[in-house]
A = this chain, B = another copy of it.
Amino acid sequence: MTPSGKAEDRFIQRYFGPLANNSEALGLHDDAAQIAVPDGKSLVVSTDTLVAGIHFFHNDPPASLARKALRVNVSDLVAKGSTPKGYFLSLALPEAQLRSQDWMSDFAVALGQDQKALGLQIMGGDTVMTKDVSAITICAFGWVPQGQMVKRSGAGVGDLLYVTGTIGDSAIGLWARRANLFGLDELTGFEQQLLACLTEQERTQLELSYLEPPTNLPAADIVLNFASSSMDISDGLSGDAATLSGASNVGMEINMADIPHHAILAPHLENEGVRARLITGGDDYQILCTVTSVRSKDFEIEMAKAKVAVTCIGKIVEQTGVRFLDGQQQELSVGANGFDHFSD
Chain A interface residues toward B at CB < 8 A:
1-2, 4-11, 26, 29-37, 39-51, 53-55, 72, 76-77, 79-80, 82, 88, 90, 92, 95, 98-99, 123-131, 133, 135, 137, 139, 144, 146-147, 149, 151-153, 231-232, 234-235, 239-240, 242-243, 247, 338-344
Are B139 and A11 in contact, with the CB atoms below 8 A? Answer: no
B32 touching A45 by the CB < 8 A rule? yes
Q: Please pick, from B9, B90, B147, B341, the residue contacting A49 in the complex, using a CB distance under 8 A.
A: B90
Interface contact A341-B124, CB-CB below 8 Å:
no
Chain B residues within 8 Å of A247, by CB: 29-30
Q: Point out the residue from B36, B39, B90, B139 that lies within 8 Å of A147, measured CB to CB.
A: B36
Interface contact A5-B124, CB-CB below 8 Å: no
Taking the closest CB of chain B, its distance from the CB of A191, in whole angstroms, is 22
Closest to A45 in B: B33
**Is the Cβ of B51 less than 8 Å from the Cβ of A44?**
no
In the assembled complex, the Cα of A234 lies from the Cα of B40 at a distance in Å of 36
> Which secondary structure dominates where chain A touches chain B?
mixed
| Alpha-carbon distance between A147 and B26 when the two chains are bound, in angstroms | 12
B4, B44, B135, B147: the one contacting A240 at CB < 8 Å is B4
Please indicate the chain B residues that have their CB under 8 angstroms from the CB of A235 in the complex: 1-2, 4-5
Instruction: Please tell me if the beta carbons of A239 and B340 are within 8 angstroms of each other in the complex.
Output: no
Closest to A130 in B: B51
Contact B33 A152 (CB under 8 A): no
Is the CB–CB distance between B147 and A34 below 8 Å? yes
In the complex formed, the residue of B with least CB distance to A72 is B1
Which residues of B lie under 8 Å from residue A8 when comparing CB positions? 340-342
Residues of B within 8 A of A26 (CB): 151
Chain B residues within an 8 Å CB radius of A127:
341
Q: Is the CB of A2 within 8 A of B234?
A: yes
Contact A341 B128 (CB under 8 A): yes
Q: How far is the CA of A29 from the CA of B246 in the complex (A)?
A: 10
How far, in angstroms, from A47 to B36 measured CA to CA in the complex? 18
